[in-house]
């Protein structure tokens, strides 16, 4: 909504697909929470963060869910679950 409805090109919504794709492209983000990934993306991509998010989302068809899941740390391995 922010990106297209209000022209906020810096908006970077992070859903499951974006978290997986970001972890694939930036392995150091694999155990980060969604708000942390969004902050990283806004800092990394700057004013074009929203466009970068759309590009990543469009690229999701390139990978299977299994391929993307291997880049995320399993829930049982995260610090908050121990």
pLDDT tens across 20-66, in order? 999 988 999 999 999 999 999 999 999 888 888 988 888 777 766 67
User: Which pTM was predicted?
Assistant: 0.69
Distance CA 37, CA 65 (A): 19
State yes or no: pLDDT of 8 exceeds 70. yes
Residue 81: its pLDDT value, please?
Answer: 42
State yes or no: pLDDT of 17 exceeds 50. yes
Spell out the residues 6+ positions from residue 30 whose beta carbon is closer than 8 angstroms to its own: 23, 71, 72, 73
Residue 82: its pLDDT value, please?
Answer: 42
Note whether 19 and 60 are within 8 A (CB).
Answer: no
């Amino acid at each position: 909504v922010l990106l297209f409805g209000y022209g906020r090109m810096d908006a970077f919504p992070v859903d499951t697909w974006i978290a997986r794709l970001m972890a694939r492209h930036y392995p150091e983000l694999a155990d980060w929470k969604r708000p942390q990934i969004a902050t990283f993306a806004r800092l990394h991509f700057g004013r074009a963060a929203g466009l970068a998010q759309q590009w990543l989302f469009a690229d999701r068809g390139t990978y299977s869910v299994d391929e993307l899941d291997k880049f995320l740390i399993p829930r049982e391995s995260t610090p908050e679950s121990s």
